Structure 1
Amino acid sequence: METIKISVIIPSYKPQNYLWECLESIQVQTMPQEEFEVILILNGCREPYSKAIESFISKHPAGNLTMLQTDIPGVSNARNMGIDNARGEFLTFIDDDDYISPTYLQELYNIAKDGITPVSNVIAFNHVTGQYETNYLTECYKHLYNKDKITIMQARSFMSVPVAKILSTNAIGIRRFDPEFKVGEDGLFMFQISNRIKILKAASPSCVYYRRNRDGSAINSLRPRGQRLKNNFKLMTNYTKYYLQDIRHYNIFFYISRLVAEMISMTFAVRGKIQQ
Structure 2
Amino acid sequence: MSVIVATYLGAERIAGALRSLVNQSLDPGRFEVVVVSNGPEDGTPDVVRRFRAEHPEHDIRVVRTSRPGASNASNVGLASARHDYVTFVDDDDFVSRDFLAGLLAHAAPDVVVAAAFGDHVPGSRTVDFGGYLNRSVLRYAGSTVGFDELHHAASAHAGKLAPTRFARQVRFNPELASGYDVAYWSELFSRFGLDLRVVPLSAHAVYYRQLREGSASRTLSRRFVTERLIAIGVLDRLREEHPAYARTLSALASGQATHIGRYLRDHPDERHEVFAEIAERGLDEDFPYHSMNAHATTELVISYGFPPYQDTSAMVVARRIALADRPVDVLTHTMRGIRSVDERSLALVRRSVGRRMTVHGTPSFAGWAGIERFATEGMSRIAAREAELGAYESVYSRAMWPAAHVLGALCKARNPEVSWTAEFSDPLLHDAEGRVRESVVGPSEIFDEIEAACAARGVAPTTSRNLFEWLEKIAFALADRVVFTNVNQRAYMLEHTPARDTVERALEVSEISPHPTLPPEYYRLAPSGYRLDARKVNIGYFGVFYSVRGVGDLLAAIQGLSPDERRRVALHVFTDKPDETRAVVDAARVGDVVVVQPYIPYFEFLELSTHFDWLVVADARVAHTHGVNPYLPSKLSDYRGSGARIWGLVERGSVLDTLDLDAKTELGDVDAAREILRNTSSRVTA
**Smaller-chain TM-score range?**
0.7 to 0.9
- Measure the CA separation in 2 of the matches of 1:247 and 1:155: 17
Match of 1:141 in 2: 137
What is the number of residues matched between the two proteins? 265
Q: Residue 77 of structure 1: SS of its match in structure 2?
A: helix
**AA aligned opposite 1:215:** E
Match of 2:159 in 1: 164
Contact 1:191 1:239 in 2 (8 A): yes
Match of 1:116 in 2: 111
Contact 2:182 2:231 in 1 (8 A): no
Tell whether 2:236 aligns with 1:240.
Answer: yes
Tell whether 2:95 aligns with 1:100.
Answer: yes
Tell whether 2:219 aligns with 1:221.
Answer: yes
Structure 1 residues 109 and 264 mapped into 2: Cα distance closer, same or farther (>3 Å)? same
Match of 2:256 in 1: 262
Q: Residue 11 of structure 1: SS of its match in structure 2?
A: strand
Structure 1 residues 69 and 198 mapped into 2: Cα distance closer, same or farther (>3 Å)? closer
The Cα shift of 1:201 comes to 2.0
Mean CA deviation greater in 76-85 or 164-173: 164-173
Match of 1:87 in 2: 82
The Cα shift of 1:21 comes to 2.0
User: How does the TM-score come out when normalised to structure 1?
Assistant: 0.87
Q: Residue 139 of structure 2: SS of its match in structure 1?
A: helix
Contact 1:171 1:197 in 2 (8 A): no
The Cα shift of 1:121 comes to 1.0
Contact 2:39 2:69 in 1 (8 A): yes
- Measure the CA separation in 2 of the matches of 1:26 and 1:117: 20
The Cα shift of 1:117 comes to 2.0
Identity %: 22
Task: Show CA shifts across 1:155-179 (max 9, x none).
Answer: 1121221211101112224211001
- Measure the CA separation in 2 of the matches of 1:235 and 1:91: 23
Equivalent position to 2:6, from 8, 11, 25: 11
- Measure the CA separation in 2 of the matches of 1:185 and 1:124: 20
Match of 2:520 in 1: none
Match of 2:44 in 1: 49
| Structure 2 counterparts to residues 135-214 of structure 1, below 5 A | 135-146=131-142, 148-195=143-190, 196-205=192-201, 206-214=204-212
The Cα shift of 1:36 comes to 1.1
Contact 1:117 1:197 in 2 (8 A): no
- Measure the CA separation in 1 of the matches of 2:101 and 2:46: 31
Structure 1 residues 17 and 173 mapped into 2: Cα distance closer, same or farther (>3 Å)? closer
**AA aligned opposite 2:231:** L
Structure 1 residues 184 and 8 mapped into 2: Cα distance closer, same or farther (>3 Å)? same
**AA aligned opposite 1:217:** S
The Cα shift of 1:17 comes to 4.3
The Cα shift of 1:270 comes to 3.4
Structure 1 residues 162 and 17 mapped into 2: Cα distance closer, same or farther (>3 Å)? same
- Measure the CA separation in 2 of the matches of 1:273 and 1:141: 34
Structure 1 residues 58 and 193 mapped into 2: Cα distance closer, same or farther (>3 Å)? same
The Cα shift of 1:130 comes to 3.1
Match of 1:3 in 2: none
- Measure the CA separation in 2 of the matches of 1:261 and 1:85: 32
Equivalent position to 2:25, from 24, 30, 34: 30
Unaligned runs of 5+ in 2: 269-294, 296-686
Structure 1 residues 228 and 85 mapped into 2: Cα distance closer, same or farther (>3 Å)? closer
- Measure the CA separation in 1 of the matches of 2:16 and 2:5: 13
Match of 1:130 in 2: 125
The Cα shift of 1:197 comes to 4.1
**AA aligned opposite 1:38:** V
Match of 2:456 in 1: none
Match of 1:272 in 2: 266
The Cα shift of 1:53 comes to 2.0
Contact 1:12 1:42 in 2 (8 A): yes
Structure 1 residues 229 and 89 mapped into 2: Cα distance closer, same or farther (>3 Å)? same
Task: Show CA shifts across 1:228-269 (max 9, x none).
Answer: 44333322222222343x326x51221211222233333443
Structure 1 residues 73 and 199 mapped into 2: Cα distance closer, same or farther (>3 Å)? same
Unaligned runs of 5+ in 1: 1-5
Over aligned residues, Cα RMSD in angstroms?
2.2
- Measure the CA separation in 1 of the matches of 2:126 and 2:134: 15
**AA aligned opposite 2:206:** V
Q: Residue 113 of structure 2: SS of its match in structure 1?
A: strand
- Measure the CA separation in 1 of the matches of 2:263 and 2:54: 47
The Cα shift of 1:273 comes to 7.0
- Measure the CA separation in 2 of the matches of 1:114 and 1:228: 35
The Cα shift of 1:190 comes to 0.6
Q: Residue 150 of structure 1: SS of its match in structure 2?
A: strand
Structure 1 residues 261 and 108 mapped into 2: Cα distance closer, same or farther (>3 Å)? same
**AA aligned opposite 1:220:** R
- Measure the CA separation in 1 of the matches of 2:30 and 2:170: 25
Contact 1:181 1:231 in 2 (8 A): yes
Mean CA deviation greater in 83-92 or 62-71: 62-71
User: How does the TM-score come out when normalised to structure 2?
Assistant: 0.37
